[in-house]
Amino acid sequence: MIDVEDLIALVRNYNPRTNADMIRRAYDYGRRMHDGQFRHSGEPYFTHPVAVAAILTEQRLDDATIVTALLHDTIEDTRSTYSEVTELFGADIAELVDGVTKLTNLQLSSSASKQAENFRKLFMAMSKDLRVILVKLADRLHNMRTIKSMRPEKQAQKARETMEIFAPLAGRMGMQWMREELEDLAFKVLNPEARTSIIRRFVSLQKESGDVIPKITADIRGLLEKSQIEADVFGRAKRPYSIWRKMEEKQLAFSRLSDIYGFRVITRTEADCYAVLGLIHQRWRAVPGRFKDYISQPKTNGYRSIHTTVSGRDGKRVEVQIRTRQMHEVAEAGVAAHWSYRDGELAVNPFAVDPGQWISQLTERFGEGDHDEFLENVKLEMYSDQVFCFTPKGDVVKLPKGATPIDYAYAIHTRIGNSCVGAKVDGIRVPLWTRLKNGQSVEIITAAGQRPQATWLDIVATGRAKGAIRKSLREEDRGRFVKLGSELARVAFEHVGRKVSDKALRTAAKTLGLADEIELMARLGSAELTSREVIEALYPELAAKGPEMIEPTRAVLGLAADQSFRRANCCQPLPGERIVGITYRGQGVVIHAIDCPALEEFEEQPGRWVDLHWHLGQHPPVYSASLKLTISNDAGVLGHICSLIGQQKANISDLNFIDRKPDFYSLVVEVELRDVEHLHTLLTALEAETDVAQVERWRDLARKP
């Protein structure tokens, strides 16, 4: 455990005028309050608050935040009280400690409706004083660093909560280093096999090509010295989770992944940033589409930097970030830079964002209505990167990466979004699903009587647009959803041996935080709520018996009572994927994945499209999907791969060789799966095998739907 004088020394490194006496008193008080308490590892409990305080010194935070870290568990876990902390350390610190205590008591990984309500409370606490969440993030970081001492099920719960909430929140606040470490620590718990595989392959790559980081760093430094530009250059390999996420997003094998190395150039002036960019682009070939200028268009959390990806030494792609020292301080501390000290004074960094302004920007579009929509909006906003578009008058509209003209329309006004029928980008008419890019000028075309379409939900990227579309659809289709929800409720109650009644539904609605039983049935019918959640709200002991297995004949919601369905052979959609139906006369409805290219031929036939959703819940492993594998041509490899597929609870229904070479086979394997999550688990397991050179989902568009 860090001694109090060592902790004070850490603070004095950046704040020589620190109130050392107050830190000593807080240290002594916290140690006395936690005396006799121990962590799961067997260490004295007070080692944890001290470690949290030490993490916060790395961000050069003020004395009040350091003292709050030392005391953050006293009110919750000891005989200490709010009034006593106020008397000893002042009202401001007591308020901060109380705020952290309230955050700790929020069950952010609870049921969806409760989680949404608690998420709103989290943001309310943040809006009062953002230092509360800084302490909570440091608390979570230390807990994740020492998570091995917890029970396995507790580890999994904390890791999921970290991955879904705290890591993206740290990233949204500009604390990218913390986000990356939190993600990787959670990844180590949630998918240790995949992480170990990536590390193993990375070590093999270093053995084959040597450590390229010092070589490329030396290349960049030499380039700068020749041009007499003063700058610091740092290089590093990206973390295992960052590499794995890129593999998942791009569906690439590790061997085909390129930019696994990142480099930073820290300059003295903004002009030097652009000079360095020019030198790097002259020396190496820039990768098209991989350049971002966050200096001229900074992120809302104050982040400024130039990002570019180039084909560096030996053709390896590397990402280079270029920024000044002041920009780097904000990039490291994010919103926390507002409280950073240097030489005993609050560091006046022109790029640091005012926390009050930042939190208001993050929440300004979140209405006081639906808790679930608030939760979705917050999560979307936390994960989003930004693009900047212009109105015909030249005003800037900020949107998340991947936004479409529909998102743009709703960003201007809900009325414009609801009545949108088309869009022009840079003067040219474009489809509504077009992804907008930085610097484009967008004009929305509206028409009276137009209403949002259900398919828009799969097109838009912003929480505001999704919420407005859902609200409009609920109002338009409410009667149909209520009727369908009533039938789903009846079946769900019969399944657990209970009879549905208005009183039971009213009680369930109240438990789930809904207005009444009509709202409950509307949510149930629109697939925003599952029948299992309703049963859990009333009869948790019955729901605990295990998830209801959804029969394949009723796996899809949104069909008329007399409509049958089948999955398209071309794209083989799985439960959990976004889907749409196409009607065929006399053949019912054929279900396609929303991104299936075969849908293009039906664009001019909107009357044949049916908005569908998979039933949420446990599906049986009967849905076929094809995988294309390239494997080593060695004895026993094929048998081993088949056994591995079986270990993942996937049945092989067909197998065809498409290419045979002396050193490898290419084959298509058809497997039966539960859902898209089952598919991703299987792909990860196969990807980790050394005998598998490549594996990908195989969609044969030549097959008839």
Question: Do residues 200 and 291 both lie within one domain?
Answer: yes
Distance between CA atoms of residues 163 and 241, nearest Å: 11
Q: Is the dihedral of CA 102, 103, 107, 108 positive or negative?
A: positive
How far the first Cα of the chain sits from its last, in Å, is 65
71 pLDDT more than 90: yes
Instruction: Decide if 76 is catalytic.
Output: yes
Per-residue pLDDT tens over the stretch 259-315: 677 899 999 999 999 999 999 999 888 887 778 888 988 877 678 899 998 886 666
Q: How confident is the model at residue 46 (pLDDT cuts 50, 70, 90)?
A: very high
User: Which tops the pLDDT comparison, 73 or 476?
Assistant: 73
244-253, 491-500, 565-574: lowest mean pLDDT where? 244-253
Q: How far apart are CA 342 and CA 96, in angstroms?
A: 23
Q: How far is CA 30 from CA 50, 98, 334, 558, in A?
A: 9, 15, 29, 58
- Decide the pairing of beta strands 386-390 and 556-557: unpaired
Out of 43, 58, 76, 293, the active site residue is 76
pLDDT band at 110 (very low <50, low <70, confident <90, very high): very low
Instruction: Examine the pLDDT at 109 and tell me if it is beyond 80.
Output: no
Examine the fold and report which residue of 434, 461, 488 is the final residue of a domain before the chain moves on. Answer: 461
Q: Which of 21-25, 48-52, 258-262, 329-333 has the lowest mean pLDDT?
A: 258-262
Same domain, 574 and 660: yes
Same domain, 289 and 156: no
Whether 549 shows a pLDDT value over 80: the answer reads no
Domain C-terminal end among 297, 321, 346: 346
One DSSP character per residue, 317-351 reads EEEEEEEEHHHHHHHHHGGGGGG-EETTEE---TT
Is residue 533 in a domain?
A: no
User: How many whole angstroms separate alpha carbon 65 and alpha carbon 87?
Assistant: 17
Of 171-175, 441-445, 661-665, 692-696, highest mean pLDDT: 441-445
Q: 387: Cβ–Cβ under 8 A, 6 or more apart, which residues?
A: 398, 399, 400, 401, 403, 436, 437, 438
Whether residue 367 is predicted with pLDDT greater than 50 in this model: the reply is no
Same domain assignment for residues 555 and 673: yes
Q: Does residue 228 surpass a pLDDT of 50?
A: yes
Q: Is residue 624 part of a domain?
A: yes
With b for 16 or more beta-carbon neighbours within 10 A and e for fewer, the 17-46 pattern comes to ebbbebbebbbebbbebbeeeeeeeeeebb
pLDDT (0 to 100) of residue 419: 92
Q: Are residues 186 and 220 in the same domain?
A: no
What is the rounded average pLDDT of the residues 608-626? 87
H or E segment to which residue 468 belongs = helix 463-495
Rounded to two decimals, the pTM is 0.55
- How would DSSP label each residue in 302-322? ----EEEEEE-GGG-EEEEEE
Residues 276/265, Cβ–Cβ less than 8 Å: yes
Mean pLDDT, residues 352-369: 55
Total domain count, the chain: 4
Residue 184 and residue 260 in one domain: no
CATH number for position 553: 3.30.70.260
- Is 77 a residue of the active site? yes
pLDDT (0 to 100) of residue 264: 92
- Top mean pLDDT of 476-490, 531-545, 564-578 is at 564-578
Q: Is the pLDDT of residue 65 over 80?
A: yes
Q: Over 70: is that where the pLDDT of 447 sits?
A: yes
Length of the chain in residues, anyone? 705
Among 258-267, 367-376, 549-558, the minimum mean pLDDT is found in: 367-376
Residues 279 and 212 in one domain: yes
Question: CA 164 from chain center: how many Å?
Answer: 6
Establish if 275 belongs to a structural domain.
Answer: yes
Which region among 311-315, 403-407, 470-474, 587-591 has the lowest average model confidence (pLDDT)? Answer: 311-315
**Of the candidates 459, 379, 394, which has an alpha carbon nearest to the alpha carbon of residue 123?**
379
Percent of all residues in the chain with a pLDDT value above 70, rounded to a whole number: 84
Does residue 572 share a domain with residue 451?
A: no
**Taking residues 582-598, what's their average pLDDT?**
86
139 part of a folded domain? yes
- Average pLDDT, rounded, for the chain: 82
The pLDDT value recorded for residue 60 is 84
Do 218 and 234 reside in the same domain of the chain?
yes
Q: What percent of the chain has pLDDT over 90?
A: 24
76 and 130, same domain (yes or no): yes
Question: Are 199 and 186 contained in the same domain?
Answer: no
Check residues 576 and 251 and name the one with the higher pLDDT: 576
Residue 577 lies in a domain: yes
Active-site option among 77, 84, 180, 611? 77
Residue 323: per-residue pLDDT? 94
What mean pLDDT do residues 457-469 have? 84
Domain at 239, CATH number:
3.30.460.10
Of 158, 190, 222, the residue that ends a domain is 190
Q: Does 352 fall in a domain?
A: no
Q: Residue 129 pLDDT > 80, yes or no?
A: no
Inside any domain, residue 453: yes
Is there a domain that residue 530 lies in? no
Closest CA relative to residue 528, chosen from 569, 581, 467? 467
Q: pLDDT grade, residue 113 (50/70/90)?
A: very low
Q: Are residues 277 and 306 in the same domain?
A: yes
| 3-state SS class at 623 | strand
The pLDDT tens digits for 94-107 are 988 888 887 776 65
pLDDT at 366: 47
pLDDT at 636: 82
Assigned token pair, 184: 């990787």
For residue 392, give the CATH number of its domain. 3.10.20.30
Both structure tokens of 312: 């560096």
Residue 210 has a pLDDT of 63
Q: What is the pLDDT of residues 155-212, one digit of tens each?
A: 988 898 888 778 877 877 778 888 889 999 998 998 888 888 878 777 776 666 667 7
Q: Domain range for residue 289?
A: 193-346
Determine the average pLDDT of the residues in 330-339.
71
